[in-house]
Structure 1
Amino acid sequence: MTDLATRSAPPSDGAVRRAAPALAGYAAVRALGLAVLALWSAARGTSPHTLLAARWDSLWYTRVAALGYGHEVRLPNGDVHSDLAFFPLLPWLERLGAALTPLPYADAGLVVSALASLAAAWGVFAVAERVYDRRVGVCLVLLWAALPVGIVQSMAYSESLFTALAAWALYAVLTGRWVTAGLLASLAGLTRPVGAAVVAAVWAAAVTSYVRDRRASPAGGVPRARRVLGTLLAPLGAAGYVLWVGHRTGRGPLGYLDVQAGWRNGFDGGYAFARFIGATFTSLPSVLAGVALTAGVALVAGLCVACVRQGQPLPLLVYAGAVTALALGASSYFGSKPRLLLPAFPLLLPFAVALARARPSRSAAVLGGVAMVSALYGAFWLNGSGPP
Structure 2
Amino acid sequence: MTDLAMDAPPKARRRLSAMRGAVRRAAPALLLYAAVRALGVAALAVSAGASGKSAHELLSARWDSLWYVRVVAYGYDFEKVADDGRVLPAKAFFPLLPWLEKAGSAVTSLSPADVGLVVSALAGLAAAAGLYAIGELLYGRRAGIMLAVLWAALPVGIVQSMAYSESLFTALAAWGVYAVLTGRWLCAGTLSVLAGLTRPVGAAVVAAVWVGVWLAWREGRRGGADGGPRPRMVIAAVIAPLGWVGYVVWVGFATGKPLGYLDVQGAWGNGFDGGWAFARFIAEKFGNGPAGVAAGLGLLVAMGLLVWVCVLCVRQRQPWPLLAYAGVVTVLAVAASGYFGSKPRLLLPAFPLLLPVAVALARARPARAAAVLVVTAVTSAAYGAFWLLGSGPP
TM-score range, shorter chain: over 0.9
Tell whether 2:282 aligns with 1:299.
no
Size of the aligned set, in residue pairs, is 377
Asked if 1:126 is matched to 2:133, the reply is yes
TM-superposed CA distance for 1:335, in Å, is: 0.5
Q: Secondary structure at the match of 2:231?
A: helix
Q: Rate the CA distance shift 1:205–1:88 in 2: closer, same or farther, 3 A.
A: same
Contact (CA 8 Å) 2:172, 2:192: kept in 1 or not?
A: yes
Deviates more, 1:18-27 or 1:293-302: 293-302
Task: Report what 2:3 is aligned to.
Answer: none
Q: Which residue of 2 aligns with 1:376?
A: 382
What residue in structure 1 maps to residue 13 of structure 2?
A: none
Q: Which residue of 2 aligns with 1:261?
A: 266
Cα deviations by residue, 1:142-177 (Å, 9 ceiling, x for unpaired): 100000000000000000000000000000001100
* Among candidates 329, 346, 359, match of residue 340 of structure 1: 346
CA deviation map 1:51-97 (0-9, x unaligned): 10000110000111222211112346552210000000000000111
Aligned counterparts of 1:231 and 1:363: Cα–Cα separation in 2: 40
Give a deviation string over 1:273-305, Cα, whole Å, max 9, x none: 011011111112223322222222111111100
Q: For 1:282, what is the secondary structure of its paired residue? A: coil
Matched, 1:218 2:228: no
Q: Which amino acid aligns with 2:240?
A: A
Q: Distance in 1 between matches of 2:270 and 2:53?
A: 30
Which amino acid is the alignment partner of residue 271 of structure 2? Answer: G
Q: Distance in 1 between matches of 2:345 and 2:52?
A: 25
- Partner letter of residue 258 of structure 1? D
Secondary structure, aligned partner of 1:112: helix
Give the TM-score, by structure 2 length. Answer: 0.93
Pairing 1:329–2:335 present: yes
Who is 1:351 aligned against? 357
Q: 1:132: how far off?
A: 1.1
* CA–CA distance in structure 1, aligned partners of residues 371 and 83 of structure 2: 51
SS at structure 1 position matched to 2:200 = coil
Q: Residue type matched to 1:273 in 2?
A: F
How far off its partner does 1:43 sit?
1.3
Aligned counterpart, 2:215:
208
Please list, as runs of the form range in 1=range in 2, the aligned pairs for 1:229-240 lying within 5 A after superposition.
229-240=235-246
2:310 maps to a residue whose letter is C
After superposition, the Cα gap between the structure-2 partners of 1:39 and 1:76, relative to the gap in structure 1 and judged at 3 Å, is: closer
Report if the CA contact (8 A) 1:179-1:233 is conserved.
no
Q: Out of 141, 154, 157, which is 2:148 matched to?
A: 141
- Per-residue deviation, 1:13: 4.5
| Structure 1 residue 286 corresponds to structure 2 residue 292 | yes
* 1:331 Cα deviation after fit: 0.5
Aligned match of 1:73 in 73, 77, 80? 80
* 2:268 counterpart letter in structure 1: W
In structure 2, C-alpha distance between the alignment counterparts of 1:154 and 1:76, rounded to whole Å: 28
Which structure 2 residues correspond to residues 133-212 of structure 1 after superposition, within 5 A? 133-212=140-219
CA shift at 1:217, angstroms? 2.3
Correspondent of 2:21 among 14, 20, 31: 14
Whole-angstrom CA distance in 2 between matches of 1:92 and 1:202: 25
- Equivalent residue for 1:91? 98
Query: How many angstroms apart in 2 are the aligned matches of 1:370 and 1:33?
Result: 11
Partners of 1:219 and 1:310 in 2: how far apart? 33
CA distance in 2: counterparts of 1:358 and 1:189, whole angstroms: 37
Unaligned ranges ≥5, structure 2? 1-16
| Aligned residue number for residue 54 of structure 2 | 47
Residue of structure 2 in register with 1:56 after alignment = 63
**Letter in structure 1 aligned against 2:38:** A
SS in 1 for 2:137: helix
SS of the counterpart of 1:194?
helix
Deviation at 1:321, TM superposition (A): 0.6
- The Cα shift of 1:219 comes to 6.4
Aligned partners of 1:214, 1:36: CA distance in 2, in Å?
55
In structure 1, C-alpha distance between the alignment counterparts of 2:71 and 2:115, rounded to whole Å = 13
Corresponding residue of 2:107: 100
Aligned amino acid, residue 346 of structure 2:
L
Q: More deviation in 91-100 or 293-302? A: 293-302
Which SS does the other structure have where 1:55 is aligned? coil
User: Counterparts of 1:369 and 1:196 in 2: how far apart (Å)?
Assistant: 34
Change (3 A) 1:104 1:329: same
Q: Residue 371 of structure 1: CA displacement?
A: 0.3
Tell me the equivalent position of 1:6: none
Unaligned runs of 5+ in 1: 1-9
Q: Using the alignment, how far apart are the partners of 1:118 and 1:162 within structure 2? A: 12
CA distance in 2, matches of 1:233, 1:129: 28
Asked if the contact 2:345/2:393 (under 8 Å) is kept, the reply is no
